[in-house]
């Protein structure tokens, strides 16, 4: 009689576990293979297989509700379910079916193989559920003039107040789209340590407005698990204001928060004085998987855009930092 209720328990537990992983902490994802083993251990391989399937189905269906909402026709779109099954869901069914073998003796080869699969699946879920960080720094200069011998002084990304120079050794390259002919170094100025970019000339864009530009990106994957923030800041105004929120289910599927506004000193020097538009973006990417094909991301972004005259004077760029939380699948 107890076995009859196991499939229902598996479905309910999988459903609830998804909301815990998406709404509280992604590490609840680690419990998915452990619960599949626990439900299968006290039954036959057939019941264990069924419970593993229902546990996975309930979990994946709940993640889809969190992202799409109850009323969306995409809720029953098969791609997320098939993708999640291929990416790792089949392992949950396998653990549920093999779990009864362990009851016959831990020293048996089949039991050892089952435990190895359980440990491997749990470790993989734990690894993907942990935060993964990446750093991104982009500077864009637009001008109607073909400027030469340009020097740009920009705030440097810092971790715990110290410049993170490793980021600026990793230049992102995309031939034909990004500026490759430039040099960079960290220099000391009256405002402290700054990033200095030396660009021989701007490049033609092929469009009337603007005619010339420089576009440089630094990008690091597998970065330290800390925020990178631009310094030195002045005129900091803390806001923590929610500008948009999407509540398709009981858990927020997306939320946009303005953290603060502030000013940063910048300077652009060129052979010929001209009006330029300077855009600056500094971003810390953060993501955690909550299912085999769905992740929860919450990047921290500092961004600003300013029109200024080139010269030897410092100007202060108005910036805004935001955090955007989002749950999204690889098929979206």
The DSSP string of 105-160 is -TTSHHHHHHHHHHHHHHHHHHHHHS-EEEEEEEEEEEESS--EEEEEEEEEEEET
DSSP code, position 165: G
According to the model, what pLDDT value does residue 202 have?
A: 93
Structure confidence at residue 2 as a pLDDT band (50, 70, 90):
low
List pLDDT tens digits, range 121-161. 999 999 999 999 999 999 999 999 989 999 999 999 999 88
According to the model, what pLDDT value does residue 198 have?
A: 97
List pLDDT tens digits, range 231-267. 999 999 999 898 887 776 677 778 899 999 999 999 9
In the chain, the percentage of residues whose pLDDT exceeds 90 is: 73
According to the model, what pLDDT value does residue 248 have?
A: 67
Contact indicator for 317, 153 with CB cutoff of 8 Å:
no
Contact indicator for 45, 3 with CB cutoff of 8 Å:
no
> Residue 293 and residue 93: Cα distance in Å, rounded?
17
List pLDDT tens digits, range 215-234. 999 999 989 999 999 999 99
Contact indicator for 48, 39 with CB cutoff of 8 Å:
yes
Tokens at 252, concatenated: 């927020």
**Higher-confidence position of 93 and 76:** 93
């Amino acid at each position: 009689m107890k076995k009859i209720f196991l499939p229902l328990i598996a479905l309910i537990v999988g459903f609830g576990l998804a909301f815990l992983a998406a709404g509280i902490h992604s590490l609840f994802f680690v419990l998915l293979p452990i619960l599949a083993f626990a439900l299968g251990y006290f039954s036959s391989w057939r019941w264990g297989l069924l419970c593993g399937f229902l546990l996975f189905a309930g979990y994946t269906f709940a993640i889809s509700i969190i992202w799409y909402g109850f009323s969306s026709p995409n809720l029953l779109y098969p791609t997320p379910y098939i993708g999640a099954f291929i990416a790792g869901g089949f392992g949950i069914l396998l653990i549920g079916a093999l779990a009864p073998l362990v009851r016959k003796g831990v020293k048996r080869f089949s039991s050892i193989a089952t435990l190895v699969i359980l440990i491997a699946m749990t470790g993989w879920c734990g690894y993907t559920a942990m935060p993964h960080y990446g750093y991104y720094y982009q500077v864009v200069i637009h001008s109607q003039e073909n400027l030469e011998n340009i020097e740009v002084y920009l705030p440097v990304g810092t971790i715990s107040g110290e410049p993170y120079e490793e980021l600026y050794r990793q230049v992102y390259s995309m031939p034909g789209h990004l500026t490759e002919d430039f040099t960079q170094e960290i220099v000391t100025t009256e405002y402290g340590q700054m990033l200095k970019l030396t660009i021989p000339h701007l490049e033609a864009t092929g469009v009337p407005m603007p005619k010339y530009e420089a576009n440089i990106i630094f990008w690091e994957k597998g970065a330290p698990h800390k925020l990178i923030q631009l310094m030195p800041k002045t005129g900091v105004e803390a806001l923590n204001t929610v500008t948009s929120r999407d509540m398709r289910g009981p858990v927020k599927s997306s939320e946009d928060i303005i953290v603060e506004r502030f000013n940063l000193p910048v300077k652009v020097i060129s052979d010929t004085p001209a009006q330029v538009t300077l855009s600056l973006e500094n971003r810390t990417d953060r993501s955690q998987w909550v299912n085999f094909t769905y992740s929860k991301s919450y990047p921290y972004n500092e961004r600003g855009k300013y029109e200024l005259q080139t010269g030897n004077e410092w100007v202060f760029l108005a910036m805004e930092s935001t955090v955007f939380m989002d749950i999204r699948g690889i098929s979206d």
